[in-house]
Structure 1
Amino acid sequence: MRVLAAMSGGVDSAVAAARAVDAGHDVVGVHLALSRMPGTLRTGSRGCCTIEDSMDAQRAANLIGIPYYVWDFSERFKADVVDDFIAEYSAGRTPNPCMRCNERIKFAALLEKALALGFDAVCTGHYASIVTDADGNRELHRAAAWAKDQSYVLGVLTTDQLAHAMFPLGATPAKAEVRAEAAARGFSVASKPDSHDICFIPDGDTRGWLAERVGAQTGEILDRDGAVVGSHEGAHAFTVGQRRGLQIGTPAADGKPRFVLEVRPKDNTVVVGPKEALDIALIAGSRFTWAGLAPADARTPFECEVQIRAHADPVAASAVVAVGPTGGDELVITPHVPLNGVAPGQTAVVYVGTRVLGQCTIDRTVSAVPVAL
């Protein structure tokens, strides 16, 4: 097969590209330039897609012996990931930019271009596995190394995208094995730190970054009964479950700390309450997709597990496609035990065993605790 290897400049994508070559594929490496003004050097393990990363990727491609190119996807990245991130926070939701990047850049924009150029698949360094069932249908599954499993952030992939995806690291039992292989191949990135945090906010100051783009506007902090207990300088700076940074002038009657329960951007208010009020009994989203074949009858409740963060533990649940409050279909997920601190805008990924069945962007939640405590 002709394979386009997405090379970020990290150890995982370098080894994935090398394994694709070892498997006999005709491989071309490509680095995605996602910023118009990339930093020259990384700051520790923060950020990615810098000039240094591009050079690291090129050195790896040269050692592997494959052609290497840099493609400018900065405009698409800004529109589909960065602007979406700002819009979601402005609407009071908590987005996951890594999900949007995989959905709209790596397996939409990049895959579209790859197919147009005659490639058969896009190869990445994600830790996930693709399994083909007895009827030839492709399924997305967790990686062998659960501690490194990245199937959650790939939950947005569709059946068509899975048909052209390749994850050579999926069966690798440990990240240490990948680093050892990289060192044996002579890759300079063998000991390079993993990137983390939001790549376009390399200093990690999400609140300050948003304030510059959304602006600050003083608003009220309310308790669950609607009483004013403090003030803030911009609702966009808060997310559900947050405890630190609350400027509350009125202490709670029980003396316990309070947490952000809801962000209301329309009237620029933030609702706070006790920790137990963060328990969620139901989540639902109208923006849902299936990774591979959909359930035979999704309108009949089925048992599954749900994961709401990349590194969260899966929770046993039941799910069903049903008509929501606005009249459209929703994927409704009811965990067997309440989830904690779930915010609209997050992604809920549904699993059956190790298989990723599908996902939804959470539009609404139902608290497990009534208002009157």
Structure 2
Amino acid sequence: MRILAAMSGGVDSAVAAARVVAAGHDVVGVHLALSSAPGTLRTGSRGCCSKEDAGDARRAADVLGIPFYVWDFADRFKEDVIDDFVESYAAGQTPNPCLRCNEKIKFSALADRAVALGFDAVATGHYAQLEDGVLRRAVDADKDQSYVLAVLTAEQLSRAMFPVGDTPKEQIRAEAEARGLAVANKPDSHDICFIPSGDTRAFLGARIGVRPGAVVDADSGQVLAEHEGVHGFTIGQRKGLGISGPGPDGRPRYVTAIEPETGTVLVGGAERLQVLSISADRAVWTSGTAPTGPIEGVVQVRAHGGIAPAVVEAVGTGMQVTLREPLTGVAAGQAVVVYRPDPAGDIVVGSATITATGSVATTEPLGDR
């Protein structure tokens, strides 16, 4: 097979490329330039797609003896990932840009170009298992990335390869060293790749500007503080609320709802964060077909955590989730991913974008946020 290996400059994608080369495939390496003005160096484990990363990817390709190219996707990345991220926060939502990048860039724009050039599949360093169209959690639970891949359609999965998903990270680093790859001990990248400073509020503020609103007590309706924009808040946030001290009951207060139309940020006790139902839209079913009846499974609402047993039903273009156990900090804009438990690795059934939740405290839908 002709395989296009997406090489970020990190250890995982380097070993993934090495494995497809070792398997006898015809492999070409490609690094995606996602920034119109990439930095020369990364800041520790923050950021990616720097000139340093491109150089590391090229050196890995040289060791593997494969052709290597840099493809410019900066404009597409800005439009489909960065702009979407900013617009979602401006609307009071909490998006995950890694999902959007996988959906729109790596397995859409990149894969489409790969197919047009005669490649059969795109191999990446994601930690997930994929066989015969079945997407599973990775063997290394701490590194599992199936959550951010659950947005992929059956067609997109049919032309994807995840060569490192069956191996713990520690062994991947050892393999990289044994293969003579200089990135064997390179730190993993964390946080949002296009915000290397880690200051999301400042990044959003520079693009959205000041949009004044009020921080309001959800129980009494009392205005507790003023703020400069709902983009500075997420559901479940406790610090940086601009209020003095805990609530009247002496307990901490958290962001419990965001109303972008009025600029209102509601705060209250932790009990208001617990939800038992989730409504979501833009469902993607891994099999390519929506289920015809209820699914007993497990759902996950964050990349690292937020997992609970649930019953899931397809409803129109989305899904309705009834949780068997309450989850906290569930926000509109996040993805809810449905898994079917399996000893070989939980199987991804589908995903959708959260639009509303039902609260344990009120048992009433909190509505779109």
TM-score range, shorter chain: over 0.9
CA distance in 1, matches of 2:44, 2:291: 47
Q: Secondary structure, in 3 states, of the residue corresponding to 1:103?
A: helix
C-alpha displacement of 1:171: 1.2
Write the mapping of 1:113-132 to structure 2, written as runs, cut at 5 A: 113-132=113-132
For residue 68 of structure 1, what is the aligned residue in structure 2?
Answer: 68
Q: Which runs of 5+ in 2 are unaligned?
A: 365-369
Matched to 2:360, the amino acid is A
C-alpha displacement of 1:330: 2.7
Q: 1:371 to 1:153 in 2, by over 3 A?
A: closer
Matched to 2:323, the amino acid is P
CA distance in 2, matches of 1:205, 1:182: 32
Write the mapping of 1:289-304 to structure 2, written as runs, cut at 5 A: 289-294=284-289, 296-297=291-292, 300-304=293-297
The one-character-per-residue Cα deviations of 1:170-219 (angstroms, maximum 9, x if unpaired) are 211x1111111111111110000000000000010000111111012332
For residue 256 of structure 1, what is the aligned residue in structure 2?
Answer: 251
Among all aligned residue pairs of Structure 1 and Structure 2, give the percentage whose two residues are the same amino acid.
57
Q: Does 1:283 align with 2:278?
A: yes
CA distance in 1, matches of 2:317, 2:162: 32
Say if 1:229 and 1:250, in contact at 8 Å, map to a contact too: no
Displacement over 6 Å in runs of 4+: none
For residue 357 of structure 1, what is the aligned residue in structure 2?
Answer: 349
Query: 235, 240, 249: which is aligned to 1:245?
Result: 240
Query: Could you state the TM-score of these two structures normalised by the residue count of structure 2?
Result: 0.95
Matched to 1:223, the amino acid is D
Query: 280, 301, 310: which is aligned to 2:303?
Result: 310
Matched to 2:289, the amino acid is A
Matched to 2:307, the amino acid is P
Q: 1:105 to 1:197 in 2, by over 3 A?
A: same
Q: Does 1:217 align with 2:205?
A: no
CA distance in 2, matches of 1:248, 1:208: 20
Say if 1:294 and 1:357, in contact at 8 Å, map to a contact too: no
Q: 1:187 to 1:251 in 2, by over 3 A?
A: closer
Q: Secondary structure, in 3 states, of the residue corresponding to 1:109?
A: helix
Say if 2:89 and 2:231, in contact at 8 Å, map to a contact too: yes
C-alpha displacement of 1:251: 5.1
CA distance in 1, matches of 2:104, 2:297: 26
For residue 22 of structure 2, what is the aligned residue in structure 1?
Answer: 22
C-alpha displacement of 1:294: 3.2
Q: Does 1:91 align with 2:91?
A: yes
Q: Which runs of 5+ in 1 are unaligned?
A: 133-137, 323-327
Q: 1:217 to 1:197 in 2, by over 3 A?
A: same
C-alpha displacement of 1:255: 1.6
Say if 1:140 and 1:292, in contact at 8 Å, map to a contact too: no
C-alpha displacement of 1:292: 2.2
Q: Secondary structure, in 3 states, of the residue corresponding to 2:302?
A: coil
C-alpha displacement of 1:286: 1.5
Say if 2:7 and 2:31, in contact at 8 Å, map to a contact too: yes
C-alpha displacement of 1:157: 0.7
Q: Does 1:181 align with 2:169?
A: no
For residue 335 of structure 1, what is the aligned residue in structure 2?
Answer: 323
CA distance in 2, matches of 1:215, 1:42: 27
CA distance in 1, matches of 2:101, 2:109: 10
For residue 135 of structure 1, what is the aligned residue in structure 2?
Answer: none
Judge which range, 74-83 or 176-185, deviates more.
176-185
Say if 2:306 and 2:327, in contact at 8 Å, map to a contact too: no
Query: Could you state the TM-score of these two structures normalised by the residue count of structure 1?
Result: 0.94
Q: Secondary structure, in 3 states, of the residue corresponding to 1:317?
A: strand
For residue 3 of structure 2, what is the aligned residue in structure 1?
Answer: 3
Q: 1:250 to 1:27 in 2, by over 3 A?
A: closer
Matched to 1:180, the amino acid is A
